[in-house]
Amino acid sequence: MAKKYNICLDVGGTKVLGAVFNEKDKLVCKIKRRSTEKGNSSENIEEVIIEVTRLLIQKANIKKSQINAISAGVPGIINSATGVVVFTPNLPWRNYDLKSAIEKEFGAKFYLGNDVNVGVLGEFEYGAAKGYKNVVGLFVGTGVGGGLILNKKLFVGNEFMAGECGHMIVDENGPECGCGNRGCLETFSSKKGMAKYIKGEMVKGRSSMMGEYIDDNGVFKSKYLKAAVEAGDKVALEAIDRACHYLAVGAGSLISALSPDCVVFGGGVMEALGDLFMEKILAEVDKYAMPSIRPHVDLKKASLGDYSNIYGSLALIKQAEKGKK
């Protein structure tokens, strides 16, 4: 029986998304399982991945022997050469050989990469950044992640750590960042950064409907930010203006340094509020990108939504198989 199906996973801090693709890269079926929060050891989360993969096999009505390869985008530092998860900020893996574990279970090749890197790769191979050569991706979610496609290949840098564009300094006197520094892009433009601004304004006595949607972790669901915008919530709109302003500053600096032909903005916030964000970013980026380079760059909203990571995982398989030929 031909090994013609690829199983692609998006492993998040709180959920595992998965999809099965046939030999023509057509999506056969998909599944979403919210359970990584329960995992408190490397093995537990590995079990969730195995469970989702089994459910996908079942749902697609295929056999284990028909799987060509499995792949995943994982939040953290991934040694994409060895498949070892070096470090994950929100999951308990430390130098864990996830590749061997999954390959042993399913008898198929397993490829993995950093989630945002993989998401940008997805947009490059199948989404808004298709056809470009040098792509900078900025993904706005709980934090701000980055990914770089340079000369049509994912650039991972030294120790597989490239793409931390959310930690570029956009205002050295800005808020403290979780990384330990001050004024990183993500202190302004991430959900956490926006929530912190809104809470700060509320402490000053201003009101915002976002108050009840910001959870104990200082995050909110993007749909509530959208609702606040639609309700004309001033504080929420200021937080968005601030987020977009600094995304323009960060994108401008990256355009000057790298001369990409495309900057793609993705992630949950862009999925919910992309048009508004793009409008505001585009209105400002000319002030911060070198004028001689700016006209040669397209700024785009990601087009694969929640599936940029899944398609990026598919691209990981394709790139690996292409490399072997």
- Which parts of this chain interact with its own copies (CB under 8 A)? 77, 87, 133-134, 146, 148, 150-151, 155-165, 167-172, 179-182, 184, 249, 252-254, 256-261, 287-293, 296-297
How far apart are CB 266 and its own copies at their closest, in Å? 17
The CA–CA distances, whole Å, from 254 to 136, 249, 285 equal 8, 9, 11
Closer to its own copies by CB, 250 or 274: give it.
250
Using CA atoms, how far apart are residues 42 and 118, in angstroms rounded to an integer? 21
How far apart are CB 117 and its own copies at their closest, in Å? 11
Closer to its own copies by CB, 87 or 224: give it.
87
Sole residue written with tokens 């061997």: 100
How far apart are CB 98 and its own copies at their closest, in Å? 20
Phi, psi for residue 293 in degrees, rounded to 5:
-95, -40
Q: What is 147-161 written as a DSSP string?
A: EEEETTEE---GGG-
Closer to its own copies by CB, 15 or 182: give it.
182
Closer to its own copies by CB, 231 or 282: give it.
282
Using CA atoms, how far apart are residues 196 and 87, in angstroms rounded to an integer? 26
Sole residue written with tokens 């694969």: 304
Closer to its own copies by CB, 78 or 225: give it.
78
Residue 109: which residues within 8 A CB-CB, separation 6 or more? Answer: 68, 69, 70, 103, 317, 320
Closer to its own copies by CB, 101 or 156: give it.
156
* Closest CA relative to residue 103, chosen from 72, 78, 75, 62: 72
How far apart are CB 145 and its own copies at their closest, in Å? 12
- Backbone torsion region of residue 183, taken as left when φ is above 0, otherwise alpha when ψ lies between -120 and 50, otherwise beta: left
